[in-house]
Structure 1
Amino acid sequence: MNSCLEIPSWIFPIEPYKGESLSHFLGRFRRANYASSSELGQKTGLGGVLARWEKFRFIPPPSQKQLEALAQVVQLEVEQLRLLLPPQGVAMKHEPIRVCTACYEEKPYHRLEWQFKDTRGCDRHQLRLLSECPSCGKRFKIPALWVEGHCHNCQTQFTGMKRYQKEM
């Protein structure tokens, strides 16, 4: 990793949302700063590690040095980044990507807890999570790629999918 990172003064800092997944945050940050995943990986010195994190692959867990490098570029404190990661000992579900569209309708971002292996549904709305588009049946893309909050295949908006979520 590069210990002396040169960070452009034009970086647009993005504040993470409460409970947001690192994948979704990184996508929002990259779009706000017109940077690709590989450019952000290069700028942080983390390379392809960021692409793994966007897919909820945290084995091995991010090191302190890695988090410090990312924090420097995205202009956050390391502790803010830790909140975007699963708590120690919590297993993640890499696939499929899951969403509570009722939550998404209230505040459009991917919640980290939706990818916990033990999460069966949304405790707030008492609804099962969706893992595929009810219109076309395609699985959802990783949250880093969610630009407009819709199915990448048929463009059905997440906010219109709530009626397809079953009660828990």
Structure 2
Amino acid sequence: MEAENIKPWLFRVQPYEGESLSHFLGRFRRANDLTPTGLGKATGLGGAIARWEKFRLNPPPSQQHLEALAKVVGVDAEKLEQMLPPPGMGMKMEPIRLCAVCYIESPCHKIDWQFKVTQGCDRHKLSLLSECPNCGARFKVPALWMDAWCQRCFTPFVDMAKCQKHY
């Protein structure tokens, strides 16, 4: 299906400041009841969407890829590029990390949390969480974060903030 054929029917999702592409793609897909495959077909990017949601950015999205995605999601390609690590910046694909205090302030996964050089939350001077402090489950990829809670025990991210340690 051509992107232009479905474009008028898509709900727009505004990106948050510092949001990771994984989280944004998940929010966009849920708002429009799309699977990664469905969004891949609409954009002409195929399986790239599913890879990007898992931080598998090798090779990184090209300008052409970002422009194709931008046409469908209604977000400027430059803004999409800001949701990716800067060129040369190493990424941790796992574990997925979270600053619960940041999430309370702005409910999104921040791309900065996955940088290899990131040791903690620079804004709050707190360690990042990589698993639920209640049950020990590792966090799912941000594209799957729907309800801001642990997907195993349902502990809200808000309640996890008290478990973060200062550094």
Question: 1:34 offset after TM fit, Å?
Answer: 1.1
In the alignment, does 2:164 pair up with 1:131? no
Q: Pairwise mapping of residues 14-93 of structure 1 onto structure 2 (< 5 A)?
A: 14-93=13-92
The answer to whether the 8 A contact 2:3-2:72 is kept is no
* Coordinate RMSD, CA, aligned: 1.4
Q: Which moved more, 1:91-100 or 1:67-76?
A: 67-76
Alignment TM-score, normalising by the size of structure 1 = 0.95
Match of 2:111 in 1: 112
Instruction: Look up the SS of the partner of 1:113 in the other structure.
Output: helix
Which digits, 9 at most, give the CA deviation of each residue in 1:92-146, with x for residues without a partner? 1000000000111111110000000000000111100000001110100000000
Secondary structure of the structure 2 residue equivalent to 1:60: coil
Normalised to the residue count of structure 2, the TM-score between the two structures is 0.96
Q: Which runs of 5+ in 1 are unaligned?
A: none
Asked if the contact 1:5/1:44 (under 8 Å) is kept, the reply is no
Deviates more, 1:96-105 or 1:4-13: 4-13
Aligned residue identity for 1:25: F
The secondary structure found in structure 1 opposite 2:8 is coil
Distance 1:128 1:24 in 2: 21
Distance 2:97 2:84 in 1: 16
Work out the percentage of aligned pairs sharing the same amino acid: 58
Structure 1 position 7, deviation (Å): 3.0
Structure 1 residues 96 and 4: alpha-carbon distance in aligned structure 2, compared to 1, 3 A threshold: closer
Contact 1:52 1:58 in 2 (8 A): yes
Matched letter for residue 154 of structure 1: C
Distance 1:106 1:52 in 2: 28
Q: How many corresponding residue pairs?
A: 167
In structure 2, the residue matched to 1:152 is 151
Measured in 2, the distance between the counterparts of 1:56 and 1:85 equals 9
1:10 paired to 2:9: yes
Counterpart of 1:135 in structure 2: which amino acid? Answer: N
Q: In 1, are the aligned partners of 2:3 and 2:43 still within 8 Å (CA)? A: no
SS in 1 for 2:23: helix
CA drift of 1:5 comes to: 4.6
Mapped to 2, the partners of 1:4 and 1:99 lie a distance apart of 33
Describe the SS at the equivalent of 1:68: helix
Q: Take 2:86 and 2:95, find their aligned partners in 1: how far apart are those partners?
A: 20
Distance 1:15 1:45 in 2: 22
> What is the identity, as a one-letter code, of the residue corresponding to 1:21?
S
Cα distance in 1 between the residues matched to 2:19 and 2:7 = 25
